Every structure is written in C-alpha cells, then in structure tokens.
Amino acid sequence: MRRFGTQGRVYPDRHYVVSRTEEIADFIHRLKDGRYVVLFAPRQTGKTTFFRLALDTLIATSSIYFPIQLNFEAYKNLSVPDFYAAFYKRVRKEIEKVFQKREQLPDETLASFLNDAKFTNHISMMEFFEQFDDFLESQHSGEKVILIIDEFDGIPQTVLGDFLHSLRDIYLSDERRCPHSVGIVGVKSIAQLNYDRSVSPFNIQDEFHLPNFTHQQVQELFGQYTDEVRQTFAPEVIRALHRQTAGQPFLVNRFAQILTEELDIPRTKTITMAHFVKAHTMLLEEENVNLTHLLTNIRRDPRFENLLMRIVSYQRGVQFNLRNVSLKKVYGLESLGTSLIC
C-alpha cells in the first residue's frame, strides 16, 4: 500500500503523487527547446519531486537527451578548486549512471577521457563539456546534455559569478551547445544570492513558476488513496483542506497523513468535517518547519507581524505583490502557512 509522503521527495511507487502533467509538459518543452530554466520556490513546495518526474518522463519518451543531475547542497564552504573537484566527481558518476541504466559501458575513449578529465575552474569545466559533447556527437547518436542542479543555493559565493558567466557563454555560443539546456533549482533567486547584478550574467534565464496544488490536484491526490483503500472523503473536507493550506504540497500531505493514519478513523467510515477540524488543530500545534519559519521571521522583524496580522485579519486583504519586500521575504522563506493561522 502506498502512503502520503512528507519526508522530502515523493516516489510514485511508494507515495500518492500529484502527476502535475501539464506543468511537466511545459517544463519538458522548455528543456527540449534548449532554454536555461530557473525554478526558485520556497522549501517543501515540490521542486525536487517535480523536476525528477519531468526528467523521468523526458527520458522515457526520448533517447536523445543525456541527463546530468547534481545537487549543490553540501558545497557551501568549499574553495574554488575543491568545489570544482567535487562537482566533477558527481558529473562523472552521473555520466556513468546513465550508461549503467542503458546497460552499456562507456567505450575506451570515453572511459579514458573521463579518467583523465579534471575541473579546477570554470574554464576547464567549459572545456570538459565541449569535449564531452564532441564525444557524444562522434561516437553516439549526438544526445544532448541536460544539466539540472538542485539546491543551487549551496554554490560557494566565490564560484557563483564565474560559474554563471560560463553558462551564459555556452548559452550564447553559436555552435551546438553543451549543456543543451540547464535547470537551476533553489530557494533563493539568483538576485538574492548576492551576485553583483550589474554584470547580469544570467539574463538569459527563463523563470519557471511551480504553483501550489489546485483543488483538482488535491482531489487527484486523495482519489488515489480512495481508489486503493476504499475510504472516502466528504467533498467539503477536500475543499476546506485546499483552502486552509492554499494547496501547499507539504501541508496537503501532512493533513492527509493525520486524517488517514493518526486519527484512527475506521477505514469503513467517510472522513468528515469533524475529523478535519481535529486534524487542523493537530497540524497547528505540532512542530512544523513552515510555521516555525514564520514565527522566527515575526520575532526577528516586527514588520512581518504587521503584515501577517493584516493578511489574517481579512479586513482589507493585502495585495500579493512580490515587489513588496516584506511580503517577498515572508513568501520566499515560507510558503503560505499564513492561511493556516486563521
């Protein structure tokens, strides 16, 4: 039996998963089109799950792409050479993984190329990709490299500028590009990573917005549970749950977990609003990274409290505008736990 997942990425064989088919089609279209896409959104909004599903779909439907998936989470405090050394190690592992999946071995030329290659800085990184691409073109069917970097915020500050410049150079080159497309995934936007904007090396970026779940997507998720377990939800429960969580992916699943695993409701009974109210109280009372961050922000800066009080008091509403710095901070550090507070 599958379950609702709340510990990081969700997997369709173990968890109920919103398929996000339309969003995935849009993302894949951009990758195929050779765009350099950035996906920045708060924690626990489904970024990792999303791009992994997208890559799986892309690979299953087309063999002309060569995916390299990286994660910069652990790299924050590395020096430039150490960063590139760690980066190369991962790139090589990922390349070998693709061959393993295809049940092929890299031939001798590639094996010795991978053995001898070394990145020490952005220049050698660019040269590596160029040569790897030549290899794919001459020895293979000319697959196109898709580079996806998760937790991009972990990039050391000393690496960031040159790294982005290199990507930009590759993007703007007239020749066949390697990487053909890039996906950068993180919590902070590139502007917030403190990079000197005057040089603007990443003005080639294509921003992808990953929305919270719609009411229909929450229905899709709960429908999977009902199909497997045969326990139903009163329609108003799904509506209230969607409204109270604003469709925030983690909160939706945590709510579902409480309702289906922690309230001991017999499976033969429909889940009703009375159960919903209990689950709502439990959710608000437990340790929750979403709400804790909101509280930390409120304690740190009284402007947040003001803003949040205006939002939750519902008197005059607050227009959602990311040019409002406080709103942006509350949103950027947190996704909408606010509706849960009311």
- Provide the binding-site residues for ligand ADP, judged by CB under 6 A: 5-10, 17-18, 20, 43-49, 221, 249-250, 253
Q: How far is the CB of 187 from ligand ADP (least distance, A)?
A: 8
Binding partner of 337, given ligand ADP, Mg ion, none, CB within 5-8 angstroms per partner class:
none
Half-sphere exposure of 93 (CA within 13 A, CB side): 9
Q: Are 135 and 144 in contact (CB under 8 A)?
A: no
23 or 133, CB closer to ligand ADP?
Answer: 23
Select from 48, 290, 297, 335 the one that contacts Mg ion (CB under 5 A).
48
Binding partner of 12, given ligand ADP, Mg ion, none, CB within 5-8 angstroms per partner class:
none
Strands 36-40 vs 181-186: parallel, antiparallel or unpaired: parallel
Binding partner of 49, given ligand ADP, Mg ion, none, CB within 5-8 angstroms per partner class:
ligand ADP
Q: What share of residues in the chain are helix, strand, coil (percent, to 5)?
A: 55, 10, 35
Count the site residues for Mg ion by CB under 5 A.
1
Q: Residue 208 is encoded by which pair of tokens? A: 């992808």
Q: Are 327 and 318 in contact (CB under 8 A)?
A: yes
Strands 36-40 vs 206-207: parallel, antiparallel or unpaired: parallel
Q: Residue 295 is encoded by which pair of tokens? A: 């509280």
6 or 121, CB closer to ligand ADP?
Answer: 6
Binding partner of 18, given ligand ADP, Mg ion, none, CB within 5-8 angstroms per partner class:
ligand ADP
Q: How far is the CB of 47 from Mg ion (least distance, A)?
A: 5
The strand pairing partners of 185, in sequence order, are 39
Binding partner of 68, given Mg ion, ligand ADP, none, CB within 5-8 angstroms per partner class:
none
Q: How far is the CB of 184 from Mg ion (least distance, A)?
A: 13
10 or 336, CB closer to ligand ADP?
Answer: 10
CB neighbour list of residue 323: distance below 8 Å, 6 or more residues apart: none
Q: How far is the CB of 236 from ligand ADP (least distance, A)?
A: 21
Q: How far is the CB of 221 from ligand ADP (least distance, A)?
A: 6
Strand order across the beta sheet in which 206-207 lies: 65-71, 144-150, 181-186, 36-40, 206-207
Q: How far is the CB of 70 from Mg ion (least distance, A)?
A: 13
The strand pairing partners of 206, in sequence order, are 37
Q: Could you give the angle at the alpha carbon of 24 between the alpha carbons of 19 and 30, nearest 5°?
A: 180
238 or 252, CB closer to Mg ion?
Answer: 252
Q: How far is the CB of 129 from ligand ADP (least distance, A)?
A: 26
48 or 205, CB closer to Mg ion?
Answer: 48
Q: Are 206 and 30 in contact (CB under 8 A)?
A: yes
Q: Are 18 and 213 in contact (CB under 8 A)?
A: yes
106 or 249, CB closer to ligand ADP?
Answer: 249
10 or 38, CB closer to ligand ADP?
Answer: 10
Q: Are 15 and 5 in contact (CB under 8 A)?
A: yes
Distance set, CA 28 to CA 54, 203, 259 (Å):
6, 21, 34
17 or 110, CB closer to ligand ADP?
Answer: 17
Q: How far is the CB of 238 from Mg ion (least distance, A)?
A: 26
**3-class secondary-structure state, position 271:** strand
Binding partner of 170, given Mg ion, ligand ADP, none, CB within 5-8 angstroms per partner class:
none
The strand pairing partners of 207, in sequence order, are 38
Binding partner of 247, given Mg ion, ligand ADP, none, CB within 5-8 angstroms per partner class:
none
Interaction between residue 49 and Mg ion (CB under 5 A):
no
Contact residues toward Mg ion (CB under 5 A) are 48
